[in-house]
């Protein structure tokens, strides 16, 4: 094969596995080892083994068929996991959809964080740091790139993942990496852009049980201030996420760690702790098993 022009045919199956389309090409390879590397990169190491009818013409004018290579393996004998470069149209639809939607929501969350930080500066009539403006532009560019990949039905999942990795996990001014939770210096730095919201005038004598209903001496409706500033808590991308964190994304945040602890003790749906035996101790059921009351209502 050394230095010979190799002819090969790529066959494309439809959604039902029937061969509907083929494309014949030629390429020069120094040896079979180089051809095997090419085959592995094109087929995903055999995942889409659609290259067939491989041959070259030797110096005597005779056709020499080339065997389909075996998959490449690591030192332990395991087949290497590689992303294919050839897809049929149905797969392009499926993989582009998967690549886009498994990444875009995290990027949108980053956009929400940055927009909220910018609004915080604007509400206080403070100049928005240039780094935040650049960060917003970076996220906008990433979303545009994602849309272009999706619109072109690009099936390469690694491209979508790379865009998300470029922008997700960064926090604070300038797109710095998500802080190392073991480093106090990085944690403090990541919170440096959080701004206090001080528009409301609050009476020091207002107690916590009536805080949202109290209108102080200056006439400020505290409930309205709370709602206008969207000061929400919980698992919400629009909350003070720089401190609490989003459970599904900020895996090192206190919010996420608390959920992990509760899940380990109670189970994701609570049934690891609230067993039927415990429930029978406090809940009254009818004959069909429907909860109709509580055994300690009078307490």
Gap between the terminal Cα atoms of the chain: 88
The contacts of residue 230 (CB under 8 Å, 6+ apart) are: 238
Dihedral class, residue 17 (left if φ above 0, else alpha if ψ from -120 to 50, else beta) = left
What pLDDT is attached to residue 227?
56
Record the tokens describing residue 263, joined without a space: 């899940």
For residue 107 the two structure tokens come to 């990027």
Q: Which helix (H) or strand (E) element contains residue 284?
A: strand 283-285
pTM of structure: 0.46
Residue 37 contacts residue 69 (beta carbons within 8 Å): no
How many Cβ atoms are within 10 Å of 132's Cβ, its own excluded? 20
Domain boundaries, the chain: 4-65, 89-183
Could you give the CA distance from residue 272 to residue 256 in angstroms, rounded to a whole number? 19
Q: In this structure, how many other beta carbons lie within 10 angstroms of the beta carbon of residue 116? A: 18
3-state secondary structure of 142: helix
- Tokens for 28, please give them: 């020069």
Q: Which of left, alpha, beta for 32 (phi over 0: left; psi -120 to 50: alpha)? A: alpha
CA angle 52, 55, 58 (to 5 degrees): 175
Distance in angstroms (rounded) separating the CA atoms of residues 22 and 33: 25
Q: Torsion-angle region of residue 10: left (phi > 0), alpha (psi -120 to 50) or beta?
A: beta
The answer to whether 246 and 237 are in contact (CB under 8 A) is yes
Around Cβ 71, how many Cβ atoms within 10 Å? 17
pLDDT tens for the chain, residues 1 to 299: 678 899 999 988 776 667 778 889 999 998 999 999 999 999 989 988 889 899 999 888 999 999 999 999 999 999 999 988 888 888 888 889 989 998 998 898 888 888 888 988 888 888 988 888 999 999 999 999 999 999 999 998 889 999 999 888 544 333 444 445 455 555 455 454 444 444 444 444 444 444 444 444 445 554 555 555 555 444 444 444 444 555 555 666 666 667 777 778 888 778 888 888 888 888 777 777 777 677 765 54
DSSP state of 268: T
Cα–Cα distances in angstroms (integers) from residue 215 to residues 196, 218, 250, in the given order: 21, 8, 37
Would you state the pLDDT for residue 47?
A: 87
Phi, psi of 283, rounded to the nearest 5 degrees: -115, 140
């Amino acid at each position: 094969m050394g230095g010979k022009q190799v002819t090969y045919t790529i066959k494309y199956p439809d959604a039902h596995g029937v061969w509907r389309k083929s494309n014949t090409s030629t390429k020069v390879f120094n040896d079979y080892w180089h051809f095997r590397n090419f085959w592995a990169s094109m087929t995903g190491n055999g995942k889409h083994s659609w290259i067939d009818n491989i041959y070259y013409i030797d110096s005597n004018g005779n056709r020499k068929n080339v065997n389909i290579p075996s998959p490449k393996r690591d030192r332990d004998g395991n087949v290497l996991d590689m992303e294919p470069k050839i897809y049929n149209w149905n797969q392009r639809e499926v993989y582009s959809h998967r690549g886009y939607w498994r990444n875009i929501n995290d990027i949108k969350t980053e956009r929400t964080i940055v927009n909220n930080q910018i609004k915080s500066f604007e509400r206080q009539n403070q100049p928005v740091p240039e780094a935040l403006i650049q960060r917003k532009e970076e996220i906008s560019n990433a979303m545009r790139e994602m849309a272009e990949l999706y619109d072109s039905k690009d099936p390469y999942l690694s491209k979508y993942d790379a865009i998300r990795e470029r922008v997700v996990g960064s926090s604070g001014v300038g797109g710095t990496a998500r802080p190392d939770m073991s480093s106090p210096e990085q944690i403090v730095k990541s919170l440096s852009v959080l701004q206090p919201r001080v528009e409301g005038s609050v009476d020091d004598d207002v107690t916590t049980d009536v805080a949202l209903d109290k209108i102080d001496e200056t006439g400020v409706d505290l409930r309205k201030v709370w709602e206008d500033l969207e000061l929400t808590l919980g698992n919400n991308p629009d909350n003070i996420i720089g401190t609490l964190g989003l459970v599904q994304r900020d895996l090192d945040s206190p919010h996420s760690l608390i959920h992990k602890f509760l899940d380990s003790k109670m189970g994701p749906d609570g049934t690891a702790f609230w067993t039927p035996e415990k429930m029978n101790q406090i809940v009254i059921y009818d004959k069909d098993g429907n909860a109709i009351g509580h055994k300690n209502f009078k307490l």
